[in-house]
Amino acid sequence: MNSDPRARLPSVSQMLAHANIGRLIGAYGRTAVLDALRDALELSRTAGSLQPRDVDGIIDSARSSLEGAEARLVQRVINATGIVLHTNLGRAPLSEAARAAVADATGPSSVEYDLTTGARGSRTAYSSELVARLCKAPSATVVNNGAAALVLAVAALAAGREVIVSRGELVEIGGSFRLPDIIGASGARLVEVGTTNRTNVDDYRAAIGPNTAMILKVHRSNFLQVGFVADTPIARLVELARSSGILLVHDLGSGLIEQGGDDLQALDEEPAVADSVAAGSDIVIFSGDKLLGGPQAGIIAGTAELVQRCRRHPLARVTRIDKLQLAALEVTLLQHLRGTATDDVPALSLLRTPAAALAARASCIAVEVTAQIQAEASATVTSGSTETYVGGGSAPGKVLTGAAVNCAGIDAGALAAALRRQTPPVIGRIAHDVVVIDLRSVPPHEDAAVTRALVDSILSVCASIPQ
């Protein structure tokens, strides 16, 4: 008998003969199962303890790693964080019509085909026309995302030349993407002016030289400055840029389509795209999901000649929008143009829901969950008011009052994990050992699923604790 425990490990072919393997292969495919078995075997071999594991143990370990891989798939979740435009959860939830358009575009679709003439068509001609109308701009184009729009505009309009930016606007967008690096990657040279808290028009004027291509004004979309601060209004920058023969490019990131009227109260301090265009910005840039509540997209709007230079730049192909995004974007733009976006676009209707309506729903859910867990569980489920933000690098400092279901008296980490294991997973947040299910970001039709998930998760956490 061999005394080395490793020799007692089963072989892959032994394991393939095991009764449970057929089901695993059916679910994950032969290659993935073989890889997982080899990894599990290897783990047993290299484990410090050198404990020989039986076939069942190795197959179990392979199964859980296969299930773990599945959990990394992009899958539908319920966003109960209270942050409507949550970048980690895919920002804006698309409208029904936009989802249907995406589903339609998954097959062969007229993405670059003109159905009238039967000839090759332009991928972005129609969406660009809709964007231009919406922004009241002479021309526009659409690309993959806001950062791509910025890179393309700087590369096409300022490569090899200087771009002037206020020191108060050298922002980090998130995920450690920083404006100075983006400008550098676009082949332009950044010229910083002013100070962190104050930049006036003379600071810009003094920095303009023979090699200056543009002033880039960047909206502080994800942070606030308060106190002894001053920056230069767009109108003054337009004046300066015109008289100096350079461009004024305005990166709004987020914001509003148009100020006034029936605009979103939650975003009422955000700058409006149409205002920037009307003030004379040569180019305005923004993000399609932040500003329109649509799919990820980047928008460049402005004069026909400059937009054309962006379209013709080689990076335009690199920053191209995908057909699925495009399908959703066209529908979302039409909803804005028809004036029905506040009802049709989920991000806008979620942000507009009155706090009282959220409070009524939270109370219903809390009562229902309490009734269903009463006998078995010690958790206390109540409703309460909350304060959240728009999110996604939009409207910093704008506090939205809403309502949440609060679960106390239970291991908060364990409950949050159990909620993430539900189908669909429910993503809440934890504050002071309380699991908070914030309804600001939950559409009403998901209340039943939230209730079910809470009951199930609370009972499973309580059952796993020895009484």
Ligand X SMILES: *Cc1c(COP(=O)(O)O)cnc(C)c1O
CB of 431 to ligand X, least distance (A): 26
Q: How far is the CB of 73 from ligand X (least distance, A)?
A: 23
Position of tokens 């209270």? 82
Residue closer to ligand X by CB (options 254, 335) is: 254
Nearest to 219 by CA among 153, 294, 150, 128: 150
Alpha-carbon gap, residue 3 to 332, rounded angstroms: 69
Nearer to ligand X, 85 or 213 (CB): 85
Candidates 38-46, 186-194, 219-227, 403-411: pick the segment binding ligand X (CB under 6 A): 219-227
CA–CA gap between residue 30 and residue 12 (Å, rounded): 12
Shorter beta-carbon distance to ligand X: residue 154 or 415:
154
Cβ-contact 334, 134 below 8 angstroms: no
| Binds ligand X (CB under 6 A): choice among 84, 190, 218, 306 | 218
Helix (H) and strand (E) counts in the chain: 20, 15
Least distance CB 219 / ligand X (angstroms)? 5
253 belongs to the binding site for ligand X (CB under 6 A): yes
**Least Å distance between CB 161 and ligand X?**
21
Q: List C-alpha distances in Å: 367 to 72, 76, 342.
A: 34, 26, 30
124 vs 457, which CB is nearer to ligand X? 124
Q: To the nearest whole angstrom, how small is the minimum distance from the Cβ of residue 173 to ligand X?
A: 5
Question: 242 — phi, psi (to 5°)?
Answer: -60, -50
CA distance linking residue 200 with residue 418, whole number of Å: 53
353 binds ligand X (CB under 6 A): no
Q: Is there binding between residue 254 and ligand X (CB under 6 A)? A: yes
Which strand (E) or helix (H) includes residue 79? strand 78-79
Shortest distance in whole angstroms from residue 206 CB to ligand X: 25
Per-position x/- string for 362-401, each x denoting binding to ligand X as judged by CB under 6 A, each - no binding = -------------------------------x--------
Q: Which CB sits closer to ligand X, 139 or 254?
A: 254
* Residue 320 DSSP label: P
Binding map of ligand X across residues 286-325, x = CB under 6 A, - = no contact: -x--x-------x---------------------------
Q: Measured from the CB of residue 42, what is the shortest distance to ligand X in angstroms?
A: 40
> How many residues sit close enough to ligand X to count as binding (CB under 6 A)?
16
User: For residue 312, what are the CA distances in angstroms to 69, 182, 273, 286, 318?
Assistant: 41, 20, 24, 20, 12
Closer CB to ligand X, residue 137 or residue 369?
Answer: 137
Report how far Cα 279 is from the mean position of its chain's Cα atoms.
30
Q: Which member of 53, 63, 217, 219 binds ligand X (CB under 6 A)?
A: 219
Of 170, 240, 247, 227, the C-alpha closest to 200 is 240
Answer positive or negative: Cα dihedral of 238, 241, 245, 249: negative
Do the beta carbons of residue 341 and residue 293 sit within 8 Å? yes
Interface mask (CB under 6 A) for ligand X, residues 132-161, using x and -?
Answer: -------------xxx--x-----------
CA 51 from centre of chain = 45
CB of 336 to ligand X, least distance (A): 17
Pick the closer one to ligand X by CB: 40 or 134. Answer: 134
**Residues within the interface to ligand X (CB under 6 A):** 145-147, 150, 173, 218-219, 221-222, 251, 253-254, 287, 290, 298, 393
